[in-house]
């Protein structure tokens, strides 16, 4: 049977949250957010899950989420490590911050040989998003000149936190294809949204129906070679910048500008939920309770 692989970004530090969001209990039986995403992904047709984690967290993941899902889907683990750098580069001793989502994805290059999807471990995406994602993967547009990748877009107004600013990818579209993907800090000021692209002093207003990237992508293995090339270029300029990050959205924006790929928008009726700050926890728990009451989510996911 053909593999439809879900690559799960679960190595982040959760600095604004103050801990590992990936293993914070949200469900009535101690379920993590990722439990709900994997359940939805299996229902949609995914049959393989690859977790990108820190090596020191392996036993935590295997003994919790891993143990719960291993009877329902193939599970593998890969590690994002600070010293996993291309030949010729050495990690600065003072570096403690992970290199970013781009490097995290590269950790899976040796075990994924098929089209795959990417999600964050700490975002609640909704079943329809996974269904639309796998439908896209089964019917990827044919183009001999450009790689055809996909991005599930959510309305920006549905991705904010009442408790502070958030980082989001701003999708700028032409003919249903993304032409610019701008990683920015989004702040709500006087009922208006203001964007500050990372690494700049620029600020501009955006509409509340702007599509946001929540790191839900459809790729094929060709993304790995592009990431490898770009990571080397990134390190040449940033190896000693201790807080620098090699971010997938910035890499994709470069791929668009280079004409390497098209990034097709995948629209969904699902509503995103998540936690950026610890103060966001009660709202998400309430959302899950309501989804269980309505029958949209099961109370016992894996029994």
- 3-class SS letters over the chain: CCCCEEEEECCCCCCCCCCCHHHCCCCCCCCCHHHHHHHHHHHHCCCEEEEEECHHHHHHHHHHHHHHHCCCCEEEEEECCCCCCCCCCCCCCCCCCCCCHHHHHHCCCCCCCCCEEEEECCEECCHHHHHHHHHHHHCCCCCCCCEEEEEEEEEHHHCCECCECEEEEEEEEECCEEEEEEEEEEEEECCEEEEEECCCCCCEEECCCCEEEEEEEEECCHHHHHHHHHHHHHHHHHCCCCCCCCCHHHHHHHHHHCCCEEEEEEECCCCCEECCCHHHHHHHHHHHHHHHHHCCCCCCCCC
pLDDT, averaged across the chain: 93
Name the pTM for this structure: 0.94
- CA nearest 50: which of 35, 29, 66? 66
Q: How does strand 261-267 pair with strand 123-124?
A: unpaired
Q: What is the mean pLDDT of residues 92-96?
A: 94
- β-strand 211-219 against 204-206: which pairing, if any? unpaired
Look at residue 18 and tell me whether its pLDDT is greater than 70. no
Q: Which pLDDT value is given to residue 13?
A: 53
Reported confidence tier of residue 263, pLDDT bands at 50, 70, 90:
very high
Above 50 in pLDDT, residue 93? yes
Lowest mean pLDDT among 48-62, 124-138, 140-154, 230-244: 140-154
Q: What homologous superfamily is domain 5-294 in, according to CATH?
A: Spore Coat Polysaccharide Biosynthesis Protein SpsA; Chain A (3.90.550.10)
Report domain extents, the chain: 5-294
If we measure between CA atoms, which residue out of 123, 186, 153 comes closest to residue 263?
153
**What average pLDDT does range 84-93 have in this prediction?**
95
Q: Which pLDDT value is given to residue 106?
A: 98
Q: What is the mean pLDDT of residues 222-245?
A: 97
């Amino acid at each position: 049977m053909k593999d439809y692989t879900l690559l799960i970004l679960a190595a982040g530090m959760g600095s604004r949250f103050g801990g590992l969001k990936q293993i914070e209990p949200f469900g009535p039986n101690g379920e993590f957010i990722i439990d709900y995403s994997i359940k939805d992904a299996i229902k949609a047709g995914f049959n393989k899950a690859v977790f990108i984690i820190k090596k020191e967290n392996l036993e935590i993941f295997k003994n919790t989420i891993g143990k719960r899902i291993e009877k329902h889907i193939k599970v593998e683990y890969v590690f994002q490590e600070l010293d996993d750098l291309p030949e010729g580069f050495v990690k600065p001793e003072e570096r403690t911050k992970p290199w970013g989502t781009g490097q995290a994805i590269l950790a899976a290059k040796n075990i994924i040989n098929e089209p795959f999807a990417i999600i964050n471990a700490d975002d609640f995406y909704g079943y329809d998003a996974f269904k639309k994602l796998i439908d896209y993967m089964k019917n990827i547009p044919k183009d001999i000149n450009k790689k055809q990748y996909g991005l599930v877009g959510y309305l920006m107004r549905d991705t904010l936190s009442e408790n502070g600013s958030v980082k989001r990818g701003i999708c700028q579209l032409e003919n249903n294809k993304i032409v610019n993907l701008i990683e920015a800090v989004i702040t709500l000021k006087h009922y208006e949204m203001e964007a500050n692209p990372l690494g700049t002093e620029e600020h501009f207003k955006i509409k509340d129906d702007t599509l946001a990237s929540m790191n839900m992508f459809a790729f094929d293995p060709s993304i790995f070679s592009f990431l490898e090339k770009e990571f080397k270029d990134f390190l040449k300029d940033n190896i000693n910048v201790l807080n620098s990050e090699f971010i997938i959205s910035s890499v994709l924006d470069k791929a668009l500008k280079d004409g390497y790929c098209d990034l097709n928008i995948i629209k969904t009726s699902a509503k995103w939920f998540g936690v950026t700050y610890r103060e966001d926890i009660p709202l998400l728990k309430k959302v899950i309770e309501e989804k269980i009451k309505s029958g949209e989510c099961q109370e016992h996911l894996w029994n």
